[in-house]
Structures are given as structure tokens and as C-alpha cells.
């Protein structure tokens, strides 16, 4: 079935804008893009979206589908049965889709239960975003995420842990290079895995065609991860000029996850454990400085939210763009981070772009988000979400 979306401003997700154009969709993909007058003889299903902007659906490169943004999400999920965890992961994925996030990357679940949701959404059995999933995070003894991750110490154990993830069906390997905010008794600035341990993990992941992501907050751990060949640095809180220069030379992506810290700080009195709040307050300004430093140097940023962490709701993924713009990142660059940059990081060349032959993952919004990011970051301004060319009901998750 064909559908023509006509008269819109088109932002292609790579930086270019077209005015008064139309997009023809057939069989889940974009068949043709051209000036509106080119389709004057079209007699099929025609949707007039004049005065609006058509852009790629958003891509969130860092979520945790099994967590529901409770004040203490890790404790909550331990009290649930496996079936309950699967159902909440599906609900969270569908909430993200309803909010305009048409693809996402899960960077740490529970016992591979989220894989069932990934497979159901990717196959079309369930309506949901396209999902890439890491499975279990890999961390050292006592390291960040040790309560639920795959603990591995030394080169041989890290190698084995990576192979276990690949055998289980992971799309991406996640290794913990530093301490973090959400684990008691660890310092975000401390390096955990050595450069050699990380390199063994990355090389094995790459050998089997998996991308590799690293939770890396302190500068020493960031350097270890980038030197090891990591594809993306998650958070990147204590960046230095050395970190930035090395990431630029390696082509390493930064996934900032501004939403994670801001939602903790903005809800500090809502039952979040004290150690989480204290660490978040300590690192807030340094995080902002690091992200801006990387952007101003021309680094590649891919949008990620860490959705599922305290008060960081699935379905609110698009708010990350607002936080980026408030930080000083131009609207166009923020959108690119959630479109083509994110697609490239996730290995999705036919998503995150409005181009002929790409999947029709589309967000249609009021106004012009290149001038006012709230047209995307506030769902009240969303007109329509398309997943593989099919309109998604805003009431998917009432």
C-alpha cells in the first residue's frame, strides 16, 4: 500500500532541509522524495502535512528496558518474576515508540529476558521500536553493576564473558571501564578494567561483528576504553582534552545521557538512595563541561538517555534533545545526534535518515524543530509517528 505525505518541510537527519516536499512510502520504505508538484497525478492515499516538519524517528542509544524509572529501580526489579520483567520491558519499548523513538539500544538487562522483547519487536510480532540489546553488562569484582552483571576478572575471564554474551545473542558488548553513580561504594572517577582487559573484550566483540560500548565516567577509564578500541563512550563525565583528542582520532562516539543525572537531581527528595543523589550532585557541572568540550571539538555525539534510571521515563526519551540544546548544542546538531549519528553507531544505515530506500521510521511534528527544539522534545507538538511506514497510535500505552 502506498501513502504520500505531502507539503512538509523535510529534515533528512543528516543536516539538510527541503521545503514543500513530499515523501512517498511503499512496503515499509521510502520510495521517492521530491517537490510536491512532482506528485500532482498521485491518486492514492495522500496525507497533507503542510506547515509541519517530517524528520526521521528518533534513536536512543542507551536505555534499560527492564527498569521503570523507580527511585531505586535495581531493587524493584529483583522482586519481580521473569514474566513480569518481560512484560514491563515490552511496555517500556512501546512507550518509547509512542513518544517518537523508533529505534533504541538496550545496554543492560536481566538474565537476557529483554531479548524476547527485542525479537518480538524486530520481527513484527509485537509493535515496537527496532531494538539492539547488549544482554549482561561485563564488570570486575565489586565494579559498577556487579549486583546484576557478569563479573569477570583478568584477560581470560573477560574473553569468556564476551563469548557468553555472543552465544546468548547479544548485538553489542558492554564493558564497565569505571565506577558509576548507581552502585554503592564505587567512585565514578576510578578506572576499573585495565586497558588490556578492555582490549581483549573489544577485539573479541569485533571479531564476531559486534559493536562495543563502555560505561566510562572518569578520565583514566575513558582513555583506557578508547585506546582499547571502544565504539562508544557512555556518559563521559570527566573528559579531558586528552580524552577528546583521542576520541576524535579514533572516531569514537560519545553518548552523553544528560537525562540520567538531571532526573536524579530534579527528584532528589523522592526517595532516591542518598549515595546516588550525592554522586549526581558532585558530577553535574563536570558532565556539562565535558559534553560541551567534546561537541565544540567536533566529536561525534549519539543521543542516549539511560531511560529506566530514577525518574528517567521510557517515552520521555525525546527530552534529551531539550537538555542538549539548553546546554548550548545547536538544534540541528542535537537532531543529527538522534538521527544519522545514532543510526551509524547502531549499524543501521537504512534508518535515521529520510532518503530513498530507507525504512519509513518517521516523526512528523508541528512547526520547525530547527528553530524550536520543543517541537520534538515535547510530545504535545507531535503530529504522527510512523514505524516502517505504519502510523503508530499515540494511545498505544494510555
CATH number at residue 47: 2.30.40.10
Residue-range definition of the domain harbouring residue 49: 2-56+353-392
- Burial of residue 75 (number of CB atoms within 10 Å: 0-12, 13-18, 19+): exposed
Which of 240, 248, 247, 185 is CA-nearest to residue 218? 240
Helix %, strand %, coil % for the chain, to 5? 35, 25, 40
- DSSP labels, 171-190: SEEEEE-B--SSSTT--TTS
Report the pLDDT value the prediction gives residue 398, as an integer from 0 to 100.
35
239 with 110, same domain: the answer is yes
pTM of the shown model: 0.96
The alpha carbon of residue 384 and the mean position of all alpha carbons in its chain are separated, in whole angstroms, by: 21
Residue 122: name the closest of 108, 112, 132 by CA. Answer: 132
Q: How many domains does the chain have?
A: 2
**Which residues of the chain are modeled with pLDDT < 70?**
394-398
Residue with cell 559534553: 291
> Rounded to whole angstroms, what are the CA distances from 225 to 7, 50, 329, 339?
46, 47, 25, 25
Statement to judge: residues 155 and 273 lie in one domain? yes
pLDDT digits (tens, 9 = 90+) for 25-47: 999 999 999 999 999 999 999 99
Q: With CA atoms as reference, report the closest residue to 19 among 33, 5, 9, 4.
A: 9
Residue 86 lies in a domain: yes
Evaluate whether residue 143 is within a structural domain.
Answer: yes
269 and 378 share one domain = no
Same domain for 158 and 49 = no
User: Is 245 among the domain residues?
Assistant: yes
Q: Identify whether residues 152 and 226 lie together within a single domain.
A: yes
Same domain, 337 and 385: no
Residue 398 domain flag: no
β-strands 58-63, 362-366: how paired? unpaired
Beta-bridged to residue 363, according to DSSP, are 55, 385
Task: Indicate whether 152 and 279 sit together in one domain.
Answer: yes
Same domain, 281 and 364: no
Q: What is the CATH number of the domain that holds 166?
A: 3.20.20.140
- Asked whether residue 317 is domain-assigned, the answer is yes
Helices marked H in the chain: 73-77, 82-98, 114-123, 154-168, 195-207, 219-227, 241-250, 258-266, 274-296, 319-327, 331-338, 340-345, 374-377
Burial category of 167 from C-beta neighbours within 10 Å (exposed 0-12, middle 13-18, buried 19 and up): exposed
Q: Please report whether residue 330 resides in a domain.
A: yes
Asked if residue 90 and residue 34 are part of one domain, the reply reads: no
**Same domain as 182, residue 50:** no
Tell me the C-alpha distance between 330 and 226, whole Å. 26
Give tens-digit pLDDT for 199-248: 999 999 999 999 999 999 999 999 999 999 999 999 999 999 999 999 99
Has residue 373 been placed in a domain? yes
Please tell me the distance from the alpha carbon of residue 30 to that of residue 273, in angstroms, as a whole number: 47
CB pairs under 8 A, 24+ apart, for 27-32? 27/389, 28/359, 28/360, 28/388, 28/389, 28/390, 29/350, 29/357, 29/358, 29/359, 29/360, 29/389, 30/354, 30/355, 30/356, 30/357, 30/358, 30/359, 30/360, 31/2, 31/356, 32/356
In the block, residue with C-alpha cell 559486534: 210
pLDDT at position 1 is 76
Domain boundary among 322, 345, 368: 345
Residue 126: all three cell numbers together: 509485537
Q: Is 93 within 8 Å of 121 (Cβ atoms)?
A: yes
User: Which of 132, 140, 143, 141 has the alpha carbon at shortest distance from 172?
Assistant: 132
Same domain, 84 and 153: yes
Among 323, 345, 367, the domain boundary falls at 345
CB 351 within 8 A of CB 103: yes
Q: Is residue 397 part of a domain?
A: no
Instruction: Output the CA–CA distances (angstroms, integers) from residue 42 to 10, 19, 49, 149, in the order listed.
Output: 19, 19, 16, 54
**CA–CA separation, 52 and 365 (whole Å):** 6
Residues 290, 295, 301, CA angle at the centre, nearest 5°? 95
Using CB atoms within 10 Å of the CB of residue 81, give its burial: 0 to 12 exposed, 13 to 18 middle, 19+ buried. exposed
| Statement to judge: residues 303 and 375 lie in one domain | no
pLDDT given for residue 150 in this prediction: 97
Amino acid at each position: 500500500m502506498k501513502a504520500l505525505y505531502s507539503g512538509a518541510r523535510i529534515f533528512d537527519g543528516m543536516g539538510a532541509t527541503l521545503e514543500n516536499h513530499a515523501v512517498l512510502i511503499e512496503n515499509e520504505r521510502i520510495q521517492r522524495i521530491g517537490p510536491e508538484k512532482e506528485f500532482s497525478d498521485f491518486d492514492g492515499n495522500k496525507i497533507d502535512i503542510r506547515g509541519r516538519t517530517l524528520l526521521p524517528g528518533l534513536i536512543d542509544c542507551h536505555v534499560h528496558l527492564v527498569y521503570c524509572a523507580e527511585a531505586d529501580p535495581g531493587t524493584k526489579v529483583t522482586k519481580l518474576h521473569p514474566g513480569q520483567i518481560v512484560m514491563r520491558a515490552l511496555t517500556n519499548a512501546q512507550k518509547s515508540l509512542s513518544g517518537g523513538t523508533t529505534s533504541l539500544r538496550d545496554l543492560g538487562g536481566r538474565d537476557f529476558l529483554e531479548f524476547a522483547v527485542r525479537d518480538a519487536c524486530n520481527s513484527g510480532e509485537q509493535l515496537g521500536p527496532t531494538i539492539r540489546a547488549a544482554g549482561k553488562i561485563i564488570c570486575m569484582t565489586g565494579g559498577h553493576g556487579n549486583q546484576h552483571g557478569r563479573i569477570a576478572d583478568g584477560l581470560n575471564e573477560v574473553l569468556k564473558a564476551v563469548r557468553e554474551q555472543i552465544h546468548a545473542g547479544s548485538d553489542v558488548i558492554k564493558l564497565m571501564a569505571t565506577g558509576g553513580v548507581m552502585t554503592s561504594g564505587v567512585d565514578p572517577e576510578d578506572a576499573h578494567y585495565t586497558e588490556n582487559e578492555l582490549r581483549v573484550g573489544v577485539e573479541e566483540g569485533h571479531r564476531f561483528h559486534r559493536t562495543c560500548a563502555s560505561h566510562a565516567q572518569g578520565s583514566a577509564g575513558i582513555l583506557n576504553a578508547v585506546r582499547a578500541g571502544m565504539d562508544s563512550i557512555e556518559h563521559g563525565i570527566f573528559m579531558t582534552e586528552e580524552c577528546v583528542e583521542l576520541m576524535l582520532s579514533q572516531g569514537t562516539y560519545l553518548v552523553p545521557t544528560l537525562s540520567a543525572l538531571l532526573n536524579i537531581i530534579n527528584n532528589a527528595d523522592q526517595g532516591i538512595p542518598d549515595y546516588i543523589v550525592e554522586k549526581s550532585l558532585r558530577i553535574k557541572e563536570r558532565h556539562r563541561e565535558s559534553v560541551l568540550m567534546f561537541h565544540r571539538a567536533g566529536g561525534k555525539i549519539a543521543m542516549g538517555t539511560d531511560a529506566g534510571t530514577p525518574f528517567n521515563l521510557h517515552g520521555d526519551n525525546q527530552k534529551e534533545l531539550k537538555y542538549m540544546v539548553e546546554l548550548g548544542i545547536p538544534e540541528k546538531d542535537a537532531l543529527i545526534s538522534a538521527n544519522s549519528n545514532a543510526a551509524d553507531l547502531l549499524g543501521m544505515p537504512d534508518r535515521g535518515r529520510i532518503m530513498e530506500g530507507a525504512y519509513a521510521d518517521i516523526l512528523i511534528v508541528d512547526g520547525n524543530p530547527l528553530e524550536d527544539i520543543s517541537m520534538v522534545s515535547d510530545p504535545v507538538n507531535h503530529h504522527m509517528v510512523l514505524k516502517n511506514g505504519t502510523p503508530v497510535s499515540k494511545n498505544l500505552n494510555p
